[in-house]
């Protein structure tokens, strides 16, 4: 679940690990973006999106959204667990810091400098130089697959990223869809290769662990796909085809109409 296309990286990661998995993608086109909303409002929207997905009786729910994980995870777990394990998304600050610094964390303006992010830095990046880089407009540009707006937002954020940075944490799930553009913008000529740290692969692996499933990536894709748009049955929007992850998922067999 996510407000929009930010769920594509995690969903694609699950598809690659388990091509036989039946996926339900629950989004909120009526309510996006969630970033500017108050914590209580984010929680209300996240609960609605999660309950729409839960009606399909999934084995697990991935909260593929940093904003919802920051503000709504306790409420989601209280509402759905233990019947449905809820897996949140945490910025990959710990593995980035383990590689040494300096590290930059690209995130939405609301997340950058938030108590949540400061706590993660304090817990997992002690002794490592960490720079928070707000990325205004980037998530919205990715959501709309607006190439010019993506370029402008990535360029602006790269200009605010310290030149000596060796690793970038992608602190918004939308950013993983344009990871290589971020790498190209930040990587300085003559510097060591830049390491990008996303969350999708780790979140997908954790979801499988929570339900006791083993990866089986060699199999041909057989899993179905259902899409919920603010609770209504729908289809993936055409903009997802701008991204490799969206094209992977768009090729799935549609699931039969759900009946309670």
Task: Decide if 135 is catalytic.
Answer: no
CATH 3.40.50.1860 occupies which residues in the chain? 5-89+201-254, 93-198
* Candidates 172, 185, 207, 252; catalytic one: 172
CATH topology of domain 5-89+201-254: Rossmann fold (3.40.50)
Residue percentage of the chain with pLDDT more than 90: 82
User: Model confidence over 44-63: pLDDT tens digits?
Assistant: 999 999 999 999 999 999 99
CATH architecture, domain 93-198: 3-Layer(aba) Sandwich (3.40)
User: Model confidence over 86-131: pLDDT tens digits?
Assistant: 999 999 999 999 988 899 999 998 888 888 899 999 999 999 999 9
With cut-offs at 50, 70 and 90, classify the pLDDT of residue 188.
confident
Residues 6+ apart with CB under 8 A from 21: 14, 15, 223
Task: Decide if 172 is catalytic.
Answer: yes
Q: For residue 84, what pLDDT is reported?
A: 98
* Candidates 65, 96, 125, 168; catalytic one: 65
* Mean pLDDT rounded to a whole number for the chain: 93
Q: For residue 219, what pLDDT is reported?
A: 75
Q: Dihedrals φ, ψ of 3, to 5°?
A: -65, -30
**CA count, 13 A, side-chain hemisphere, 37:** 18
What's the pTM value of the predicted model, to 2 decimals?
0.93
Task: Give dist(CA 174, CA 4) in Å, integer.
Answer: 9
**Beta strand spans in the chain (E):** 23-27, 61-62, 86-87, 103-107, 130-134, 167-170, 195-197, 224-229, 232-234, 253-254
With cut-offs at 50, 70 and 90, classify the pLDDT of residue 258.
low
């Amino acid at each position: 679940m996510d407000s929009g296309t930010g769920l594509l990286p995690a969903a694609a990661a699950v598809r690659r690990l388990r091509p036989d998995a039946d996926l339900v993608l629950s989004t909120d086109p009526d309510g996006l973006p969630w970033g500017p909303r108050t914590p209580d409002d984010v929680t209300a929207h996240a609960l609605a999106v999660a309950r729409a997905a839960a009606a399909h009786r999934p084995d697990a729910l991935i909260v593929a959204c940093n904003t919802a994980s920051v503000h709504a995870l306790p409420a989601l777990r209280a509402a759905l667990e233990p019947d449905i394990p809820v897996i949140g998304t945490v910025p990959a600050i710990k593995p980035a810091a383990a590689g040494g610094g300096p590290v930059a964390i690209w995130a939405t303006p609301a997340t950058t400098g938030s108590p949540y992010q400061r706590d993660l830095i304090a817990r997992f990046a002690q002794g490592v130089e960490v720079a928070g880089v707000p990325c205004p407009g980037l998530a919205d540009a990715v959501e709309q697959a607006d190439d010019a707006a993506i370029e402008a937002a990535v360029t602006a954020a790269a200009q605010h990223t310290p030149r000596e940075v060796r690793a970038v944490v992608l602190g918004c799930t939308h950013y993983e869809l344009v990871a290589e553009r971020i790498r190209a913008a930040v990587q300085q000529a003559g510097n060591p290769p830049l390491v990008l740290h996303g969350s999708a692969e780790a979140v997908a692996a954790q979801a499988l662990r929570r339900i006791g499933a083993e990866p089986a990536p060699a199999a041909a894709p057989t899993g179905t796909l259902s899409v919920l748009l603010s609770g209504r049955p729908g289809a993936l929007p055409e903009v997802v085809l701008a991204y490799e992850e969206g094209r992977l998922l768009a090729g799935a067999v549609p699931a039969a109409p759900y009946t309670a």
